[in-house]
């Protein structure tokens, strides 16, 4: 009986590095000690004391921390707390998160539009090609003299945004920026990081090959006539829960927007420096990206107030377009990100004057609508190639980013799970898992600046959060952990008739907004999650959530090696 699995012992269900912190969390009435059991569930290999009790400020539940960092021997184990039972199994092993890192990058392959996914790469999740997108209509909201309404354009490739089949430039922006930044931060690590995609055998790292699938699509979203960028490529309304090849409604590009244009500038400017060394394999691509960026920048300067306005504008036309909005009425941060990437890639100081790059010290974690820090991460990463004026800006910027990370660490020693994520209920918004991952990235930036391991360890804590050390007990990455998400709001996973969802996708996570009106068992913010396909507000997947997951897992892997 004592060997019954007890879900109240919360831990990273994938496992731990031999020489990094290892913690589990007991949620329940006060206990005194714990042991680690070997794989046979009998032999005790470690004795530990539980910490003092802590109170979860969100749920008022009490917890205790089981710290077994001192135990370093590789193997498979369980944590046992007296008569309470045992935890899920976990491993201690070098490279423990490499598989999850690879799977979450492979998750993007599964999101590819305009291509068949054969068994060779997709395994049992093989599927037909969906959405060729070679005959896309100019929606009347996007019509121009050169491209009147219903003009047909080709806009193939790209990733499906999420559980739906539409493609949105704004959300592609932060996604690409995050993946490109991962590459720029750890280029060596990606020299051998194959994820079994059709391009795996070429000379380009798979991280870049996969990103190219979406980059090529993004390039088609620019109107060559004026440089403006369509906000999205979409159906008029969301599809039912069908496979991609069964979703055949007409596709439109809709409204050009300032936020789409500026995110596009940033991505293309960053791409231009990343692909420059690949000129032999991808002739002209880097230059085309820079040209596209400059053209969109000029368009943005001429149209700074053209925000995407879904409700006011689309309904004046037929058809009304009511899919994902990604509406954002503040573009100050998009200007900063775009200008920073252009400044780095062109080495032209005028971009640092065109925009107020450092308006205040009020940093906010990256989300699709808040991209300022992406520009800052790029600046500190690019120290070696910045102009003298750029270098001058760095000391203050580094201080600001480190200060932000210190703010994240502040109070962790009181937090119920001893992690950064979840110090307040405000951390639980739509896509809260990406918030945890983005906190991890911010901490890793501070680690890069200071070499102080407390930041690296805290980032690892947030990875533990995502893989099970949280108030729901779920591991939020499909296919990984003992208590897995099985019913994400993801059309292929729902429609393909295969029990297991497509692997390597990060579920959005707890969100007390409960906008989907599904049935939840609680309103408590950090538990407000339901593993049901109806729950797009807590259990959808999205590319802008997967990207920081890839970043966090892969960067931690890369850094553990050093």
Q: Give min distance, CB of 158 to ligand 9MR, in A.
A: 16
Least distance from C-beta 373 to ligand 9MR, angstroms? 24
Residues in the chain: 562
Catalytic residue among 226, 239, 526, 531: 531
Smallest distance, ligand 9MR to C-beta of residue 536, A: 4
Q: Could you tell me if 30 and 383 are in contact, meaning their C-beta atoms sit under 8 angstroms apart?
A: no
- Tokens 């520009």 identify what position? 375
Residues that bind ligand 9MR (CB under 6 A): 162-164, 238, 324, 536, 540
Q: Is residue 424 part of the contact set for ligand G3I (CB under 6 A)? A: no
What does the alpha-carbon distance between residue 485 and residue 494 come to, in Å, rounded to a whole number?
12
452 is catalytic: no
Choose the binding region for ligand G3I from 159-167, 218-226, 248-256, 499-507 (rule: CB under 6 A).
159-167
- Minimum separation from the CB atom of position 504 to ligand G3I (A): 17
Q: Which residues contact 562 (CB under 8 A, 6 or more apart)?
A: none
Q: How far apart are CA 180 and CA 518, in angstroms?
A: 36
77 binds, among ligand 9MR, ligand G3I, none (CB under 5 to 8 A by kind): none
- Contact between 430 and ligand G3I by CB under 6 A: the answer reads yes
Residue 326 Cβ, how far from ligand 9MR at the closest point, in Å? 10
- Classified as helix, coil or strand, 130 is coil
- According to CB under 6 A, which one of 542, 547, 555, 556 is a site residue for ligand G3I? 542
Residue 40: active-site member: no
Q: Which does 461 bind (CB under 5 to 8 A by kind): ligand 9MR, ligand G3I, none?
A: none
**Shortest distance, position 429 Cβ to ligand G3I, whole Å:** 5
Q: Is 501 in the site for ligand G3I (CB under 6 A)?
A: no
Nearer to ligand 9MR, 37 or 162 (CB): 162
Residue 44 half-sphere exposure toward CB, CA atoms < 13 A: 9
Residue 543 · residue 171 · CB < 8 Å: yes
Tell me whether residue 170 or residue 397 sits nearer to ligand G3I (CB atom). Answer: 170
Cα distance between the two ends of the chain: 43
d(CA 1, CA 83): 8
- Residue number of the CB closest to ligand G3I reads 324
Shortest gap between Cβ of 370 and ligand G3I (angstroms)?
9
User: Which range touches ligand G3I (CB under 6 A), out of 179-187, 402-410, 424-432, 455-463?
Assistant: 424-432
Name the residue among 256, 266, 262, 267 with its Cα closest to residue 308: 256
Strands 44-49 and 54-55: unpaired
Give me the phi and psi of 258, to 5 degrees please: -70, -40
Number of neighbours of residue 554 by Cβ within 10 angstroms: 26
Q: Which is nearer to ligand 9MR, 299 or 545 (CB)?
A: 545
Question: Among ligand G3I, ligand 9MR, none, what does residue 431 contact (CB within 5–8 Å per kind)?
Answer: ligand G3I
Q: What residues are paired with 48 via a beta bridge?
A: 34
* Interacting positions 512-541 with ligand G3I (CB under 6 A): 513, 515, 536, 540
Q: Which is nearer to ligand G3I, 237 or 350 (CB)?
A: 237
b/e per residue 57-66 (b: at least 16 CB within 10 A): ebbebebbbb
Strand order across the 230-234 sheet:
152-153, 136-138, 252-256, 230-234, 167-168
Q: Which does 238 bind (CB under 5 to 8 A by kind): ligand G3I, ligand 9MR, none?
A: ligand 9MR
CA atoms within a 13 Å half-sphere pointing along the CA-CB vector of 528: 27
- Point out the residue whose Cβ comes nearest to ligand 9MR: 164
Out of 210, 223, 527, 540, pick the active-site residue. Answer: 540
Is 324 a residue that touches ligand G3I (CB under 6 A)? yes
Q: Which residues contact 271 (CB under 8 A, 6 or more apart)?
A: 176, 180, 215, 285, 286, 289
Supply the residues annotated as catalytic.
Answer: 531, 540
Residues that bind ligand G3I (CB under 6 A): 161-162, 164, 324-325, 429-431, 513, 515, 536, 540, 542
């Amino acid at each position: 009986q004592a060997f019954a699995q007890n879900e109240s012992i919360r831990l990273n269900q994938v496992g731990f590095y031999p020489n990094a912190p290892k913690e589990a969390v007991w949620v329940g009435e006060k206990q005194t000690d714990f042991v680690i059991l070997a794989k046979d569930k009998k032999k005790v290999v470690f004795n530990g004391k539980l910490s003092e009790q802590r109170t979860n400020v969100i749920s008022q539940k009490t917890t205790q921390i089981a710290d077994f960092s001192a135990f370093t021997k590789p193997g498979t184990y369980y944590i046992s707390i007296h008569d309470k039972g045992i935890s899920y199994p976990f491993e201690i092993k070098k490279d423990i998160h490499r598989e999850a890192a690879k799977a979450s990058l492979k998750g993007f392959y599964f999101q590819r539009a305009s291509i068949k996914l054969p068994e060779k790469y997709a395994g049992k999740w093989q599927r037909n090609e969906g959405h060729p997108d070679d005959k896309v209509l100019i929606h009347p909201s996007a019509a121009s003299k050169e491209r009147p309404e219903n003009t047909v354009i080709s806009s193939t490739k790209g990733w499906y945004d999420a559980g739906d089949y539409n493609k949105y430039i704004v959300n592609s922006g932060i996604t690409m920026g995050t993946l490109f930044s991962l590459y720029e931060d750890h280029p060596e690590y990606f020299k051998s990081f194959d994820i079994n995609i059709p391009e795996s055998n070429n000379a380009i790292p798979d991280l870049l090959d996969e990103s190219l699938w979406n980059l090529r699509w993004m390039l088609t979203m620019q109107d060559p006539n004026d440089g403006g960028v369509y906000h999205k490529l979409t159906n008029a309304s969301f599809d039912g829960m069908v496979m991609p090849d069964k979703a055949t409604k007409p596709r439109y590009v809709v409204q050009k927007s300032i936020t789409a244009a500026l995110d596009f500038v940033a991505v293309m400017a960053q791409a231009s420096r990343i692909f420059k060394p690949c000129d032999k394999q991808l002739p002209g691509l880097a230059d085309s990206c820079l040209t596209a960026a400059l053209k969109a920048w000029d368009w943005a300067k001429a149209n700074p107030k053209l925000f995407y306005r879904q409700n006011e504008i689309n309904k004046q036309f037929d058809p009304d377009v009511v899919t994902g909005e990604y509406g954002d009425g503040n573009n100050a941060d998009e200007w900063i990100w775009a200008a920073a990437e252009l400044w780095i890639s062109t080495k032209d100081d005028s971009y640092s004057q065109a925009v107020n790059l450092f308006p205040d010290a009020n940093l906010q974690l990256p989300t699709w609508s808040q991209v300022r820090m992406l520009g800052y991460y790029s600046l500190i990463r690019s120290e070696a190639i910045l102009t003298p004026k750029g270098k001058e800006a760095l000391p203050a910027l580094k201080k600001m980013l480190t200060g932000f990370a210190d703010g994240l660490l502040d109070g962790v020693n009181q937090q119920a799970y001893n992690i950064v994520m979840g110090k307040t209920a405000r951390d639980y918004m739509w896509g809260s898992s990406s918030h945890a991952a983005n906190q991890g990235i911010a901490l890793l930036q501070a680690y890069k600046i200071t070499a102080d391991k407390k930041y690296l360890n805290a980032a690892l804590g947030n990875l533990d959060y995502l893989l099970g050390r949280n108030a729901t007990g779920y591991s939020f990455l499909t296919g990984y952990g003992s208590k897995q998400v099985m019913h994400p709001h993801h059309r292929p996973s729902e429609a393909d008739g295969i029990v297991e969802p497509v692997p390597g996708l990060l579920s959005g996570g707890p969100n007390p907004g409960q906008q989907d009106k599904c049935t939840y068992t609680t309103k408590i913010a950090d538990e407000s999650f339901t593993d049901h396909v109806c729950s797009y507000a807590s259990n959808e997947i999205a590319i802008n959530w997967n990207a920081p997951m890839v970043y966090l897992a892969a960067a931690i892997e890369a850094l553990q090696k050093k």
